[in-house]
Structure 1
Amino acid sequence: MILRPKSLSHHPGTLHGAATVTPAVPVPTWLRRAIPDAQSLAGKEIEDLAHTAGATIGALDAVVRRQERWAGAWRQRLALAAAAVTARQAGRVEDESALRDAVLLTRPGDFLSVGPAGSMLLAWRRLAGTPVENLLTRKSLGAVLDDLGLRRDDDAVSDMADDLRQLSAGIGMVGLLTGAFTAAESRGFARTFGCWLADALLAQRLGWAHAVPLLGAEAALGTSARPRRSAASSVATGIDTDPEGAKNQLAAQARAALRAIDLSAEIERRAERLLAVAPKLRAKAADAVVEKLLSDDAIVASEKIAGMSDRGLRRLFDRLLELGAVRELSGRPTFRIYGL
C-alpha cells in the first residue's frame, strides 16, 4: 500500500542538492524533512522509513498519473543521471555529457560502438522507454545484464525471471524493494542491477505504463554484491536478514523519488516554454521536433526527421534558442545537442 499524506503544503522545504523549482505536485515540508540522507540513518526505525518512503512514492505516483507530454524527457533525463552514477561506480570517467555523446553521436543501429559506458546508459534508457509489461522478461533481463557488463547465463536469467514474478505477485512494498536487491545479489550481480530491478518492480506494482529511473542515481547504495545464495532462498526479502540494508534502501528510494518530483517541476517549466512558442514556428515538421524534445532527453542537430532538412533543423534550433525554448547541451560549436 502507498502511504499518502493527509494534507499537502504549498510551501515545500528543500532537500540538499535538490532543484528549487516548486513542484506541480507539492511535497509537504514534514515529508522533505523526514527523508534522511545517507549519513543520518542511525537511530531511524524501519517502520518510520517505510512510512516516509511510501508517502514520497505516493507523491511521485501523482506526478506519473498526470501523463504529461513531457514525461518521456523527464524519465530519460533521470536515466542519464542514473547512468552517470553507474559509470562512476564502475570506475569509468564518463560524465552525463560524455554519456549523452556516446549514444546520440553513434550512427543509428550501430550500438556496438557506444562503448561500455554508453551501454550503461542504454540499460537505463531501456528501463525508462520500454513498456513496463516487457521489462522483466527473460529477453529484457538478459539484454540489461549485457548492457551493464555483467556476466550471465541463460539458466540464471530464467530463474531470476521466475523469482521476480513471485515477488510481484503479492508481497508488500517494502518486501518488493528489498527482494529486488536480494534477487540480484543472491546471484552475484552488482547492486546496480538490483536498483534497475527495484525500479521496474515498483512501476509494475503501481500500474505505470513506464518505469521511472530512481535508485540508479543513489551512489550511497554502492556497487558490491553479497555472496551467492541458493536459488531457493533468492526470493526471501532482506527485511529480517539485513535490516540495516533494508533501511538504507528505503531511505534511498525516498530521496530518489523526491529528486524525481523536483526534476519534474523543472522539466514542466521548460516544456511549458517550448509549447508556448510552438505556434510561432513556421518550419515544416516543427511539430515533430517539438514532440521529440518532449519525449527524450536530447536530440542532435543532425537528427533525421521526416520533412526537415539538416539546414532547416539547424535554423529551427537557432530560433528555439533565441526564444529561450531549448538549451544547447554540448557547449560545442559543432555536433551540437539540444534538449529541454
Structure 2
Amino acid sequence: MTYAQPDPSIDPDTLPRMPSWVTSARAETPEDVAFLSGAALSHLHLVLGRYEVPQALLRDRLALRAAEACVAVSGRPEREAELRDAVHLLRPGDLPGPAGETYLACRRAVERPLSVKALGRALPILEPGQIAAWLDAGQGAPVTRAAMVLEAVLREAPRAEVAALVFADAALAQALGWEYLVPLLAAGLKRADLRKQGDDLAVACHRALISSVVEAVRCSADLARRAAHLKAVAPKLRAKGAGDAVELFLTCDAVAPSALPLPDRAARRLCDRLLDLGAVRELTGRDTFRLYGV
C-alpha cells in the first residue's frame, strides 16, 4: 500500500482556536451556561470539519476518556492505562471484564456512522426498538434533547449509566447533524449530575459540554500535529504492510504490535522505528506488552 502524502498546504497549527472568552468566562446563570456551551459546540463543529484532524483517532481517544469517566461513576478503580490493557491486550477467548466491556461499548459506539444498528453493536444487550425509543425521547434544542434522553434512560434503567450517556451523546450528534457520535457528556458530568432532572440536568449538561468541548478541541489540535508528522515520516518506512500499519495508528488510540499486519518481529521493529522517528509514543512505560499510539 502506498500511503498518501500529506498536503503541504495544510498546516495543522492553523486549526481555529477556541475563543478565550469561552474558556475564561464564569457562567453564573443558566442562560450564560447555555450560551457558552452553544459557542463551544459551534467551534467544535468547525474543527470536526477540518481535513487535517484525524477524525477516527479523535473519536477513539475521546471514547477512552468517556469510558474512564463511566468506570469512575460505577465506583470501579480502573483508569486509562488499565482500560487500554483490558482491551488491547485481549487474547482470543479472554473476557475484558466489566471495565473493559465499558471501554469496548464506548469504542464501538464511535466506530461507525450513527444509527440504531451501530448503537446496538455497541450495546448488544438492548433491543433495536428500545434503542430507537430512547433516542426519540428528547426534543428541542440539541443539549436539551440530549439531557431529556439521558433522563429518560436513567428513569427506566437507573443503573444503565453507560447506555444513558452513549444515547445522550448520540442524540446530541443527531441534533447537530454529525455523522458520527462524538463522546462528550460522560467526561464532563459528575456522578451527582446523573441524579438531576429537568432544567437542573440540562444546565449540568451545558456545563459538562463546555469543559469537554474545550478538551476535545485541544485534543484535535494535538492529534492533527501528530498525525501530520506520522504521515510525513511514512515514506521512510520500508516494511511490507507499513502503509496499513500507519493507517491503524491514525485510527486507534492505542495499538499493540500484535495487531499490526506484519510478522511479530517486523511489527516490533516498525514500532521501534516509529518511536525513534518521534511519530508514535510508547504508552505503557513497560519493557514488555507494550502499546503504542500517535
Normalising by structure 1, report the TM-score. Answer: 0.76
The residue aligned with 1:6 is: none
Deviation at 1:98, TM superposition (A): 0.7
1:296 paired to 2:252: yes
The residue aligned with 2:9 is: none
The residue aligned with 2:146 is: 177
**Which of 173, 186, 205 is the equivalent residue of 1:249?**
205
The residue aligned with 1:15 is: none
The residue aligned with 2:56 is: 72
Query: 1:283/1:140 Cα in 2 relative to 1: closer, same or farther (>3 Å)?
Result: closer
The residue aligned with 1:201 is: 171
Deviation at 1:69, TM superposition (A): 6.1
Deviation at 1:90, TM superposition (A): 1.4
The residue matched to 1:295 in structure 2 has which SS? coil
1:90 paired to 2:74: yes
Q: Take 1:29 and 1:69, find their aligned partners in 2: how far apart are those partners?
A: 21
Instruction: After TM superposition, list the pairs within 5 Å mapping 1:211-230 onto structure 2.
Output: 211-222=181-192, 224-225=194-195
Q: Take 1:119 and 1:218, find their aligned partners in 2: how far apart are those partners?
A: 21
Q: Determine if contact 2:58/2:220 at 8 Å carries over to the other structure.
A: yes
Q: Determine if contact 2:54/2:227 at 8 Å carries over to the other structure.
A: yes
Aligned length: 282
1:161 paired to 2:152: no
| % identical equivalent positions | 38
Q: Determine if contact 1:221/1:248 at 8 Å carries over to the other structure.
A: no
The residue aligned with 1:33 is: 24
Q: Determine if contact 1:49/1:250 at 8 Å carries over to the other structure.
A: yes
**Which of 24, 44, 61 is the equivalent residue of 2:15?**
24
Query: 1:105/1:243 Cα in 2 relative to 1: closer, same or farther (>3 Å)?
Result: same
**Which of 266, 276, 293 is the equivalent residue of 2:232?**
276
1:325 paired to 2:294: no
Matched to 2:156, the amino acid is R
Q: Take 1:255 and 1:135, find their aligned partners in 2: how far apart are those partners?
A: 30
Deviation at 1:60, TM superposition (A): 0.7
Matched to 2:276, the amino acid is E
**Which of 125, 133, 147 is the equivalent residue of 2:115?**
133
Q: Take 1:97 and 1:186, find their aligned partners in 2: how far apart are those partners?
A: 32
The residue aligned with 1:9 is: none
The residue aligned with 2:97 is: 115
Q: Determine if contact 1:164/1:183 at 8 Å carries over to the other structure.
A: no
Deviation digits for residues 205-251 of structure 1 (CA, Å, limit 9, x no counterpart): 2222211111111252547557xxxxxxxxxxx5xxx3233211111
Deviation digits for residues 89-135 of structure 1 (CA, Å, limit 9, x no counterpart): 21211111111011011125x4x610011001011102221311246
Q: Take 1:95 and 1:103, find their aligned partners in 2: how far apart are those partners?
A: 13
Deviation at 1:186, TM superposition (A): 1.7
The residue aligned with 1:229 is: none
Q: Determine if contact 1:35/1:251 at 8 Å carries over to the other structure.
A: no
Q: Take 1:221 and 1:244, find their aligned partners in 2: how far apart are those partners?
A: 14
Gaps of 5+ in 1: 1-20, 37-43, 147-151, 227-237
RMSD value over aligned CA atoms? 2.5
Normalising by structure 2, report the TM-score. Answer: 0.87
Q: Determine if contact 1:203/1:209 at 8 Å carries over to the other structure.
A: yes
The residue aligned with 2:39 is: 55
Gaps of 5+ in 2: 1-11
